[in-house]
Structure 1
Amino acid sequence: MQTRAPDPLSVTVRMFTQRFSSTRKGARLARLLTLHQLDEWGIAYDCETSDRAAAIIAELAANAATHGRVAGRDFEVSLRLGEAQLRIEVADARSERRPAAPAVPGRPESETGRGLLVVEVLADRWGVCGRSGPGKTVWAECDLPGAGPACCRQSVQAGESAGGAGLGCQEEESASGSQKGTPWP
């Protein structure tokens, strides 16, 4: 019996998509399931990549549940792990409420208004795009250190860059362009 050698140009991209109720409990579950999925892919809990992803997903999911909520509609989380990047997307049903570029909160004692600042600091790139149905998708990308996260129990398989249009995006607007801090047009 003859076996075929693996194709050297084959690409492995790991993807995960899940819908959650637009509630605080749904946002918490999105963060926990993201961490579990990353651990399944070899990115260990409590490493830099995992911690960054947890904070980003927590902020984007909380925003979707709070500001993007439409009664009876869920929000959706999608992850794509390539060779060099982790892309996180959170889609909700409110297309008219696109996030503005983050600004420093007016009152330092305020308990709200810092979510996108956290995303801006932790993500290498982030932005917003439309989706095929009603709503919008807010996305963030984290570059993986070296050939994959140093905290992985196993190296990440060869994959493609998560750049370009994402899983649920039709057109893409970058909040940070190719560098952090560039405001939206």
Structure 2
Amino acid sequence: MLPALVTLAAEKETHNPLLPEVYDLVWGALCFIAILVVFWKFVLPRMQDMLDQRAAAIEGNIEKADEAQRQAEAALEQYTAQLAEARTQAGEIREAAREDAKKIVAEAKDAATVEAARVTAAAHAQIEAERQSALVSLRSEVGTLALDLAGGVIGETLSDDAKAQAVVDRFLAELEASQKVSK
């Protein structure tokens, strides 16, 4: 058996082992072409459709993101404008409140001044009335005391009321006139 193997090996050595046989090349080429046709007709179009759909979805998402970004920027601008307007209005309201507070304080001061003047005038009027009342009461008491003293000095009672009253009034008038001259 060994000699048969050696003969077979000798025959085989004439053929280059790196080069395939022709039938292997033909069958390999036919299989490659068949797989290439199937891949080209069925797999590549599906893969291309799938890639196109993904590209469209990505572009749609990018457009949606851009639109959302534009809306967010518009909302931010609107919010900023509203905030600025609100701050302006708040400033105006504060200023109006300050003006109103100043007016209220001024009105309260005026009312207090008027009320104080009224109370002062009423107090002066009351004091004047009490002074007049005290003056009348004092005149009658001073007149009675003066008549009693004059009666004690003269030694007679002065019982004539009209005459006594005239003397007392004249005495008090002279006393008031002398006080006014000394001032």
TM-score band, normalised by shorter chain: under 0.3
Name the structure where helix makes up a greater proportion of residues: 2
Name the structure where strand makes up a greater proportion of residues: 1
Q: TM-score, normalised by structure 1?
A: 0.13
Pick 1 or 2: higher relative contact order, CA cutoff 8 A, min separation 6: 1
Determine which structure has more spread, i.e. the larger CA radius of gyration. Answer: 2
